[in-house]
């Protein structure tokens, strides 16, 4: 984080001075601004160095810098870094494995991560790339309510892959779907 220039580090001849109370004092020579800051027992901090003349404020620099770092850390905490999670399939992936991997993909999408679905072909399986396309089409269809396709199916040597990213309100969509399924299931039990 760049540090502001303070006190003697300021090089301008004149500065626009803001007092410790936040009120504008006006454009004054640098020497007068420094004297005013020292008289109050505070620092002269260059807030906006690119302005003409530079804007300086009288304040306690230590407290100001601490607050600024604290705000930056909070902002960084709230930021979510998107990762690309990869889920691998074979052209002959069994139904149970397919569902297990699909559920993992849903979990990744709920965490707002992108998912790359890869089908790897080995040896003679290369002759049956259509099986890989079918798996990827099925995934696209079954996850279309919570994810969008970023990159359509791409073939690269012995790999076939697509990339999907979550829709904005994945949590809400899945909650509504679970609620609808819960309402439908008690009715079935009563009929039996």
**CATH number for position 167:** 3.30.110.10
> For residue 40, what is the domain's CATH number?
3.10.20.80
Examine the domain organization and report whether 115 and 55 are in the same domain: no
User: Looking at residue 172, what is its pLDDT?
Assistant: 77
User: Looking at residue 78, what is its pLDDT?
Assistant: 75
Residue 6 phi/psi, 5-degree rounding, is -130, 155
Examine the domain organization and report whether 126 and 56 are in the same domain: no
Q: How far apart are CA 25 and CA 78, in angstroms?
A: 37
pLDDT tens digit string along 68-114?
888 888 888 777 677 889 999 988 889 999 999 999 998 898 888 89
Examine the domain organization and report whether 122 and 53 are in the same domain: no
Reported pTM: 0.55
Cα(first)–Cα(last) distance of the chain, in Å? 67
DSSP 8-state assignment for residue 3: P
Percentage of residues of the chain with pLDDT beyond 90: 15
Query: Which structure tokens are listed for 26?
Result: 């006006």
Measure the CA dihedral 54/59/63/65, to 10°. Answer: 0
User: Looking at residue 186, what is its pLDDT?
Assistant: 67
Query: Which structure tokens are listed for 90?
Result: 């074979």
Q: In sequence order, what are the residues at sequence separation of 6 or more whose Cβ sits closer than 8 angstroms to the Cβ of residue 165?
A: 82, 114, 115, 147, 148, 150
Note down the domain range covering 118.
84-185
Average pLDDT over residues 161-186: 81
Closest-CA residue to 43 (of 52, 31, 34): 34
Examine the domain organization and report whether 92 and 180 are in the same domain: yes
Examine the domain organization and report whether 72 and 139 are in the same domain: no
Is 29 a member of any domain?
Answer: yes
Among 10-24, 31-45, 65-79, 172-186, name the one with the lowest average pLDDT: 172-186
Is 190 a member of any domain?
Answer: no
pLDDT tens digit string along 128-171?
888 889 999 999 999 888 888 888 888 888 889 999 988 887 77
DSSP 8-state assignment for residue 113: -
User: Looking at residue 53, what is its pLDDT?
Assistant: 87
Does residue 119 or residue 83 have the better pLDDT? 119
Q: Is the pLDDT at 127 greater than 90, yes or no?
A: no
What burial class does residue 24 get, using C-beta atoms within 10 Å of its C-beta: 0-12 exposed, 13-18 middle, 19+ buried?
exposed
Examine the domain organization and report whether 120 and 181 are in the same domain: yes
Query: Which structure tokens are listed for 169?
Result: 């309100």
């Amino acid at each position: 984080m760049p540090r502001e220039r303070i006190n003697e580090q300021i090089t301008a001849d004149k500065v626009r001075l803001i007092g410790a109370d936040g009120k504008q004092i006006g454009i004054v020579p640098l020497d007068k601004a420094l004297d005013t800051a020292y008289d109050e027992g505070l620092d002269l901090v260059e807030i906006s160095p690119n302005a003409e003349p530079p804007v300086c404020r009288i304040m306690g620099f230590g407290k100001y810098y601490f607050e600024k770092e604290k705000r930056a850390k909070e902002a960084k905490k709230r930021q979510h870094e998107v990762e690309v999670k990869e889920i691998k399939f074979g052209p002959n992936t069994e139904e149970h494995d397919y569902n297990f991997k699909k559920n993992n993909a849903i979990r990744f999408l709920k965490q707002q991560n992108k998912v790359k679905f890869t089908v790897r072909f080995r040896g003679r399986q290369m002759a049956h790339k259509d099986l890989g396309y079918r798996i990827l089409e099925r995934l696209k269809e079954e996850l279309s309510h919570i994810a969008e396709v970023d990159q359509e199916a791409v073939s690269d040597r012995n790999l076939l892959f697509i990339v999907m990213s979550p829709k904005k309100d994945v949590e809400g969509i899945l909650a509504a779907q679970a609620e609808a399924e819960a309402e439908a299931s008690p009715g079935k039990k009563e009929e039996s």
